[in-house]
Amino acid sequence: MNDIRRPRLRTVSVGLGSGAATALLAGSALGLFALPAVAADTPNGHTPTVTVKRGGPARTVPFVVDRSGEAVVTLSSQASGVSWGTKGSESAVVSAYVDGRYATDIVIPSDQPIARSFSLGHLRRGPHRLQFRFADDRSPQGASSAQLGNASVQVYGEGSDLGLVLKNAPVLYGRNLAALGDQFQSSTTDTPVFAYHEILPAQTADHKVIQYTVIWSNEDGGTNSPALMARWGRTTDIEWAYRVEVDAEGTPVPGTGVYQAANHQTLNFAGTYENNRPLLETCTSNNNLCDKVDDPMRFSLAPTQTLSEGQPREHMMDTNSWLYPVMAQEMTREGKIESPTNPDSPELGDQRTYLYLAVAHTASPSNQAGNVGLSIGVRLKGSDKLYTSNHNTDSWSITREGTAATTIELPAGTKPSDIAEVVGLRTPVQETGASLTVTRIARAFFLQQNYLPGASFIDWTGEKTLTQEAPTAVLWTASS
């Protein structure tokens, strides 16, 4: 059978953001997201799930929207026997279509449910069809089926804030570098997993700049993994992808659309638009972009979430914690973890042995932040030994102001209760005499056995100045 029995339509009330509309979804074909009750004809009171199988038929779900706007589907996905950490069974890929139009691929990296959102583009008021098809050609051979459930469609009106964000959001195509894999390499490595937006000020009054950032599971090129952990506090790759200025009416200002190209250049977008949405492709080993697309995989991630002011980019991983297991599993599968793990070695250790910190600091003069870096040290109870975030490599220090994420590798089995103190270290990359002032530790956690973040146990605010004459200071102690 191609579809489960014909259900009654249930109204899904969607109130996310201004201008969100109501959608109608087939209750027995997909579960209703964020509703207190399931459809009356659902067996055993459980939210129903769609299963698509290799070589099997697509599943089609009819739904109705009550006004035109930018549509987002939010759903839970999982795939039996799949793990991003297992070679040959890294993911299952499901391709989603709206009214027969190819909307997005969904790379499913786990046999555990993960909630995600994808943009479906502009939809007119009225009935529509959402179709899910198991992508045999781009799914690793170890994947045989995928499950999709708890789905809802939100439609954001033309004049709403999120409608404007979605209307101009980039569509990302996969990577097909011959040296790094086949044409479907984005289903097994460096896959784009998440996107978010920020609203930035523009020079023209009443205008604003929308910036879109993408998180990839890793980068095969660019900064090496130990340095990523020291300088950025993760081994995912987080890069701004596209930004554009819009006027007071929300119309893009001609010539302001730019993207992050190879070698981290900022180039004017000269490629193809899908309505207002630029089409970009991952085209370097460190996930920089091109504005000419030829890869068969398409990622229409919905950047509905925004980065809170004063938070590091890694905060988006903290609030979407499923990204940490994906991060760690790719490192393990690709053989990038030393064994046995050793905190005295600069090589990347088991990522569950690291303390994950976010630390805020400023440099004086401010333009010297790139020359005089900040490193963080940790002492354990009963020992004078200092474990440092940069493994005593000056170029691995934090060389940017504001709140930044970093990690400190510690002996396996270290618990929060084992930590005696956290120390700030002025680490000159080039000595200029500048000072640093550390003002906050915003969070501190370890990854649990399942690689999900544990509870944060430090939230320190103060003022510690590090100078050439006094380059270290205790920021936090167990008795703080």
Does position 15 have pLDDT exceeding 60, yes or no?
no
pLDDT of residue 27: 36
Model confidence at 22, in pLDDT bands (50, 70, 90)?
very low
Does position 17 have pLDDT exceeding 50, yes or no?
no
pLDDT of residue 37: 24
pLDDT of residue 479: 85
Q: At which residue do the structure tokens 């579809």 appear?
A: 3
Cα→Cα distances 455→418, 452, 469, Å: 15, 10, 36
Q: Find the Cα–Cα–Cα–Cα dihedral 136, 139, 143, 147, rounded to 10°.
A: -80
Q: Where are the domains of the chain?
A: 9-156, 168-318, 340-477
pLDDT of residue 182: 77
**Cα 425 to Cα 372: distance, rounded to the nearest angstrom:** 10
Model confidence at 49, in pLDDT bands (50, 70, 90)?
confident
pLDDT tens, residue by residue, 311-323: 999 999 999 999 9
Percentage of the chain beyond pLDDT 90 is: 88
pLDDT of residue 181: 82
pLDDT tens, residue by residue, 247-305: 999 999 999 999 999 999 999 999 999 999 999 999 999 999 999 999 999 999 999 99
- HSE-CB of 414 using CA atoms within 13 angstroms: 27
pLDDT of residue 46: 39
pLDDT of residue 159: 86
Q: Does domain 340-477 have CATH number 3.20.20.80?
A: no
Query: Please, are residues 206 and 342 in contact by the beta-carbon 8 Å criterion?
Result: no
Q: Three-state SS for 328?
A: helix
**Cα 461 to Cα 139: distance, rounded to the nearest angstrom:** 47
pLDDT of residue 341: 96
pLDDT of residue 212: 98
pLDDT of residue 252: 97
Does position 221 have pLDDT exceeding 90, yes or no?
yes
pLDDT of residue 13: 30
Does position 188 have pLDDT exceeding 70, yes or no?
yes
pLDDT of residue 12: 37
pLDDT of residue 377: 98
Which superfamily does 9-156 belong to? Galactose-binding domain-like (2.60.120.260)
pLDDT tens, residue by residue, 391-445: 999 999 999 999 999 999 999 999 999 999 999 999 999 999 999 999 999 999 9
Does position 11 have pLDDT exceeding 60, yes or no?
no
| Structure tokens that stand for 183 in this block | 């044409």
Q: Which residue has the higher pLDDT, 39 or 444?
A: 444
Model confidence at 31, in pLDDT bands (50, 70, 90)?
very low
174-202 average pLDDT score: 95
Q: Which residues of 316-327 are buried (b: 16+ CB within 10 A; e: fewer)?
A: bbbebebbbbbb
359-367 average pLDDT score: 96
Q: In what order do the strands lie in the sheet containing 9-12? A: 9-12, 23-26, 59-65, 126-134, 92-98, 101-108
Query: Please, are residues 362 and 401 in contact by the beta-carbon 8 Å criterion?
Result: yes
Of the listed ranges 51-55, 129-133, 279-283, 366-370, the least confidently predicted one is 366-370
364-383 average pLDDT score: 96
pLDDT of residue 158: 81
pLDDT of residue 183: 85
Model confidence at 24, in pLDDT bands (50, 70, 90)?
very low
pLDDT of residue 68: 96
Q: Specify the length of the chain in residues.
A: 480
